[in-house]
Structure 1
């Protein structure tokens, strides 16, 4: 007989999709037995709960019945273009984010209505390409998985940049507004704020684009499209860390003023800058310690931090910059105190990540302690509507 086997990398791509919380479904015009065999080979069907549904069987199901079944169906065989649309709408009604691949003219409506329509670049028709949101140039399903991984890395890096930038901004604002409430002089000049926003925030912020994907990025569930960017604790992180940065800035100001140091503003300004450099290093991962990630895993970040640190030293010790920024040279002891106080931001974020990791491990440890061998369960016969392929097999045989 003739066979058109799936590509070798397709099975691995399906496994990676499932690990990433993505459910791959097959929609085909092939015979249900053929479709089921291919799906089992690829790992799309991996348990007895997975269902094969044919076009004629789908026609007999009303919307409520199909809505209950759609999450279990992994293979749709012998379906027409209108039924592809029905499948997409049923999944979207259950708040699923649907990506659809196709190459033919009859796939165009489904490609257009999916959240992400992906047309084949080699075998795809022009109609399909026009209707799609993306074109897969090599017609390889594994490329979609690679694109998902890159997308997750980019999204994670955007969140890291937001976490870093807004936390620092909250720190600046809190220091500027809180200090006068306690009768303190304004801690920062306008040129200091400009320097922090352009140099201290800018250089490390750009380096977040080079942050590699974290090791477990493809073992996490997808982000809910309805979720705001400040969800999952990001907003509280920004406020908490921002207030810590502001508190350290004001603390250095109070310490220096209490000792009658004329260059208190230099310590305050430098403390804010050094705090944000430590923050940039700490927020490279939301969960993992920077020491576990490796300091050299993002060399552009290290370069940006080193350059920013060096520029700040120039602002402190070079006479030309002293006149420009109204700064004064610090003694080594004062510089050490400023660096030590600023490092509290880095260690606070690292401590928060350690607590997060331990909390995540507690449910797993509890589950291991109570794990018991499962008792054999009697086999329960299910209604045929939940296993439509069973009804289809006798007719073929």
Structure 2
């Protein structure tokens, strides 16, 4: 506490010199990231009204309160910056206190960051505010009222941004409600703030927001991975049938029972395992996706066609290569022909084997399988092992021969199928290498009202 010295005559009016001294002390404390309160008193009678009691107060001094940011906030803010999330501080504290806290957590680093007060906002119209926020350089808002927070949130939304707002007080409720994602504090927040928000942080930690973003990105990516894995095998099933039809072959390369066995037996468990993968390295180093992007985006469709096309080409090639090895015309083949049954088996086994390699590479859009390793994919590998056991049973058990119309394969047949799987993996590794050599595209920002003590 900094006391104001009194003269020998007792209480005196504050002079300009003393006022400058108090202001300087206040600024020094604010630069130390303290919230400063002025303490004053006045002797009054018991029946004095509030308005009169608040006049002619005697200044005792200033009190500085330290509400330090949590240790994990700086790392979380740096993670958000890498992820393309723009963070804007909007606080009721003084501009000097806001700047000091922003420097501590890494929000600003330059010598003179842009800082506006609520009074400054009152002099800006909506168009000027939007132009100000469109500049991506750091900006702080201090000494703001609830209506100022609303204006900032609305301006960001008018710019097409996805806006998240954090807050804990009743005066934050309007901005929490106006934002796309209102995030309230669960431990220290008011009931009004929690009711207005769509998300509540039970630990009141800003780092939990960064963790939630990473988990959300991972879940979305796992859904896309699931779709790519499943539809890749669908392309591998469809193309050989179409080729056989147009080539005039009288029989199908895959029967309906075999297709069901692949879709319901071999694909389901590995696909479900892919949906539970942990976030891959670099998840928070990517820019946000566009909110207008479809789940079946161009990138997803292209990858399905890329992997499915290679798989389909391999399955079609091994099927007709085996048919050709018999030296018979297409018209000579019947359903009971041993060569046809072996070719049928190779087509089904080829898809299952290819899907094993698809499962290994589809875990990431860009990261190499060498970087990803295999330890994080235990469930998927276990599921794929069951798929391999199933195809071996279909290939070698006489009881299943009658059901699937299959026949045993020799070691050379399996070697050819594995070689096609390795070729598919190598092709996708090369595709990833080309992607990693390019710079990532633009980003979509999210504005966040960060409580200074979060």
Q: Aligning the two structures, in what range does the TM-score lie when normalised by the shorter sequence?
A: 0.7 to 0.9
TM-score (norm 1): 0.86
**Is 1:59 aligned to 2:119, yes or no?**
no
**Is 1:288 aligned to 2:359, yes or no?**
no
Question: Please, which moves more after superposition, 177-186 or 65-74?
Answer: 65-74
1:69 shift after superposition: 0.7
1:8 shift after superposition: 1.6
Alignment of 1:195-206 (within 5 A): 195-206=261-272
What is the aligned residue count? Answer: 361
Give the match's secondary structure for 1:191.
helix
Alignment of 1:129-208 (within 5 A): 129-184=194-249, 185-208=251-274
Higher relative contact order (CA 8 A, sep 6+): 2
**Is 1:217 aligned to 2:283, yes or no?**
yes
The aligned counterpart of 1:122 is 187
**Is 1:343 aligned to 2:408, yes or no?**
no
TM-score (norm 2): 0.76
Give 2:150's match in structure 1, choosing from 55, 62, 85: 85
CA distance in 2, matches of 1:77, 1:360: 36
CA contact under 8 A between 1:296 and 1:302: conserved in structure 2? no
The aligned counterpart of 2:319 is 253
CA contact under 8 A between 2:90 and 2:140: conserved in structure 1? yes
Question: Please, which moves more after superposition, 67-76 or 19-28?
Answer: 67-76
Give the match's secondary structure for 2:141.
strand
The aligned counterpart of 1:384 is none
The aligned counterpart of 2:294 is 228
**RMSD between superposed Cα atoms in Å:** 1.9
**Is 1:40 aligned to 2:103, yes or no?**
yes
1:132 shift after superposition: 0.9
The aligned counterpart of 2:61 is none
1:73 shift after superposition: 5.2
Deviations 1:275-303 (A, max 9, x none): 12211111111112212211223111211
CA distance in 1, matches of 2:434, 2:75: 34
CA distance in 2, matches of 1:303, 1:248: 25
Cα distance change on mapping 1:203 and 1:25 into 2, 3 Å: same
CA contact under 8 A between 2:225 and 2:275: conserved in structure 1? no
**Is 1:5 aligned to 2:68, yes or no?**
yes
Cα distance change on mapping 1:78 and 1:360 into 2, 3 Å: closer
Q: Which has the higher helix share?
A: 1
CA distance in 2, matches of 1:293, 1:19: 21
Q: Which runs of 4+ in 1 moved over 6 A?
A: none
Structure exhibiting the larger radius of gyration computed from Cα positions: 2
1:205 shift after superposition: 0.6
CA contact under 8 A between 2:278 and 2:376: conserved in structure 1? yes
CA distance in 2, matches of 1:332, 1:303: 23
